Every structure is written in structure tokens, then in C-alpha cells.
Chains A and B, each alone.
Chain A
Amino acid sequence: MSAMKMYQAPRTLEEVMRAAGETGATIFAGGTDLMPRWSKEIVPRPAAVVDIKAIEGLSGIEVTDGEICIGACTLMSGLDESAALRRAAPILAEAASRIACPQIRNRATLGGNLCNASPAADTAVPLIALDAVVDVAAPGRAGATSREVSITDFFQGPGKTALEPGEVLTRVRFKRPAAVATWAWEKFGTRPAMEIAVASVGVIVEASDGVIERARVAYGSVAPTPLRGHGAEAALVGRRLTDETIGGCVAAARGEISPISDVRASAGYRREMVGVMLRRMLEDARGG
């Protein structure tokens, strides 16, 4: 039997960390993932929650020439509607725009999507492709300290992150992709909306004279965590986007994912769909 006895919405990170550290309060942002889990008793209702949305500086998107920095409490609708993000890193705006529905996008936060550590987290795949890092605030003797964790290290398993008790994800940062980079992100599901991805793929490639110089590939819903596709990347770099290259990349992708069969799809179908999505993205990128 559990009851939530306390709701706090402090204005400083120190108060959040104190609450999280001392009373074991659950950090709460959009609540769109937490609240259904409480009501369905997948996780017990916590005795206390600490809402971080009122903390200054945790919301908003800063786009500079070199870097993009997004506060953890930035809403999915904020990512979707940000013209600056659409220009600078459309792959992330696109993924955010395809999450659930407007009601959820108006509540769900970027930080929440990452901290839930679902293998299907829609924003994780583009962030991996963008080589993002997250800033984590940790309680320290003289106020909050901050550490940086790469997005791939952040995900430790289904529902598991690199966050220690009392730590708070504050920001997500990544370098602005080169203007020449081509990107693609797609998620596969049964319906156009309200879907948890059966599989998703994100790709960013930079080419010079038709030769790929840099590639990032990432997958969702096909491993215990959102996954970076090192093998698929290696199959692209230094090559032209020929049929052979694409075939090699798809084969590498199929080999490096480890999907499971569940109520939404079989492992085999997930593997197949990753291949189809990746192939189509690369063919589109080739423009042929």
C-alpha cells in the first residue's frame, strides 16, 4: 500500500536534490509516463514527488553556431514547434513531433523521455545520432556539481540510467550537425499516431564528393536500450552510397541489433523493419 503524501515544486536544483536525496522523492516532470505506471501499479506510487518544472533554466532551446543546448524540461511540443531546432537539428524535432499526440507532447519533456530509459524512447535515437551528451546535476557539499554523460552511456538497460540517487538530468547538448549533413529518422508502428515504436532508425551522414566521411546510425526498440549502430556506420564511412554499400550497411544493422518478440511484433519482423527503414533512408539520401 502506498500513498503520495507530498508534492513539492521547488525553484532551485538544490531543493530538488535535497528532496530526492533525503526523502526519496521521485523527480517528476511531465508525468505522462510516471502517472500511468502508478495507476496501473507497475511501480508503486511514491510517498513524495518533486516537480522540477518550476526550476529556472531547465526549459528552453539554445541554438548557437556551434552547439545546441536543450533544457531537460523542454516539452516535446516545444521541440516540435521550435523553428531554430527545425533548422539546426531537424532529426530531433521530427522525432519529437511523432510522439503520441498533442496532449502528451504538451506535457512530456525531453528529460523525462530519456530518464524513463525505454528502449523505444523516441528522442533517444536522434540524440545518439547527434552524439549528444547530458548534463547531470549531483548534490555536492558546496551546492550542486555537474557531470557530463554521453548519451550512449546514459542508457544502462530497460528503465535503467546512469543517474545516481539524488541526481537530476538538467540539459542535453550536442554539436550542431554540419550544414551538408543529411539526416533521416523513422519509426515503424501499426498506426500513424499514438504508437510506441515497433522499431525506429535514425541516420546522419556527411559526404564529400559522394564519399561518406562521417556516419551516425542509431536504433530504437531493437535492444535493451536505444542503440548506436557502430557496425552500420563502419559499413558506410569511406564509401559511396552504391547498392553494395547500402546492402552492406543493412546487413551490418541486422547483425548488430538484438530485438525481442513481444505483444507488438516478433523479433524477426523488427529486424526486417530496421533493414527496410535503413535501406529506404540510404536510397533517399542517394537521391536515387
Chain B
Amino acid sequence: MREVVEKVDLAFEVNGDSVRLAVSPDATLAEALRDDLELNGTKTGCEEGECGACSVLLDGKVVNSCLVLALECGGKSVVTIEGLAREGRLHPMQEAFVNHGAIQCGYCSPGMIMTAYALRLENASPTEAEVRRALEGNLCRCTGYRKIIDAVLSLNNGESRHD
């Protein structure tokens, strides 16, 4: 178990806001987000980097927040699922997931959406093969992935496969 250890100051940016926290040296980024900042949209499904439910962006790159120490994030910028919607409107990626039926139980959805969002930051018009590869580390047990892949592809040229 973890003894009571002295917490350490951490200053970083979360969803565009400056945040100061005191965290245990062994706290993960996922724990800091969920427990300290109540950003519970970031889910934990395995805590060993195998399921992708905790995916967030760290300085623009998608990572498993369960495999990042919170203290590593000092001075860095983190974006979570709560950081995508603007002024009460869903981000187009979130909207695509909703409208394509890419969400069932929803537990994988935040991580899935963040990973897809990260893909499109680097590749505005990914092919289906690129989408599959980008999402290969995000497990979903409900949808069978088809609608998730379709949702991401639908943002290419703003079109949907089903149109």
C-alpha cells in the first residue's frame, strides 16, 4: 500500500485552464484528473494501458493517463473529454459519435473520442486503415467498432458513409 506520503505541488494546464494541485508522487494522471479535479469523463478500464478508456492528450499527443505519473505533467498541457465541447455545443467528433450510433454503454467512448480527436489533429482526412490503426489501443465491447470507425470517417469532408 502507499504510506501517507508528502504531497508535491503540480502546476499544469487542463482543458485550457491553469491548475495547481498537490499530488502524491505515485499518483497517476488519471487519478489526478478523476479524484482531484473531478474530471470523471476519463475512465479507467484496466490501469495497465491495455484498454484505452483513460486516453487523454498530453501536449497534443494521445496517451493512456493511467500510465503517466501526474508529476510528469508539470508545465504541460492536458486535454480531456470535458475539454472538447465548446459553449454547450458538442465537438464535431462527439456529435459524429452520437449520430452514428458509436456509443452504447459509453464507457469506452471518452477514450475513443479523445484518440480519434488526436488522430484528426495530425491527419485531417484519415483513411479507414488509418482510423483502425489509430484506434487499435481502444477496446470496445458493445459496438463491434464499425460505427465508431464510421463516425470518425464521417468527418472527412463532413460526409457520412450512410449519406
Contact = CB atoms under 8 A, between A and B. Distances in A.
Interface of A: 1, 3-7, 9, 28, 31-32, 35-36, 38-40, 45, 49, 51, 53, 77, 100-104, 106-107, 192-194
B69 to A, nearest CB: 6
A194 to B, nearest CB: 6
A103 B28 contact: no
Given A36-B48, A103-B52, A3 B136 contact: no
A104 B137 contact: yes
B155 interface: no
Contacts of B134: 102
Contact of B137 (A3, A39, A102): A102
Contacts of A9: 71-72, 74
Given A32-B49, A102-B134, A3 B64 contact: no
Contacts of A40: 48
B47 A107 contact: no
B6 interface: yes
Contacts of A77: 61
**3 closest cross-chain pairs (CB), A and B:** A101-B137, A193-B136, A36-B48
B136 A39 contact: no
Contacts of B47: 36, 39
Interface residues of B, number: 36
A45 B137 contact: no
Which secondary structure characterizes the binding site on chain A? Answer: loop
B25 A36 contact: no
Point out which of B3, B25, B48, B55 has the most chain A C-beta atoms below 10 A from its C-beta: B25
Nearest to A30: B67
Interface string B75-112: 00000000000000000000000000000000000000
A77 B134 CA distance: 12
27 contacts: A4-B26, A5-B5, A7-B26, A9-B71, A9-B74, A28-B69, A35-B49, A36-B49, A39-B48, A49-B25, A51-B72, A53-B72, A101-B138, A102-B119, A102-B133, A103-B62, A103-B63, A103-B115, A104-B49, A104-B64, A106-B58, A106-B63, A107-B63, A107-B67, A193-B133, A194-B136, A194-B137
A222 B67 CA distance: 28
Nearest to B2: A3
A146 to B, nearest CB: 27
Contacts of B25: 4-7, 49
B6 A103 contact: no
B39 interface: no
Given A3-B5, A5-B5, A31 B48 contact: no
A31 B67 contact: yes
A4 B50 CA distance: 23
A100 B48 CA distance: 12
B68 interface: yes
Contact of A101 (B52, B68, B72): B52
Contacts of A36: 47-49, 67
Contacts of A38: 26
Contacts of A107: 63-64, 67-68
Interface string B107-147: 00000000100110000000000000110111000000000
| Most chain A C-beta atoms within 10 Å of own C-beta, residue among B1, B5, B67 | B67
Contacts of B52: 101, 103
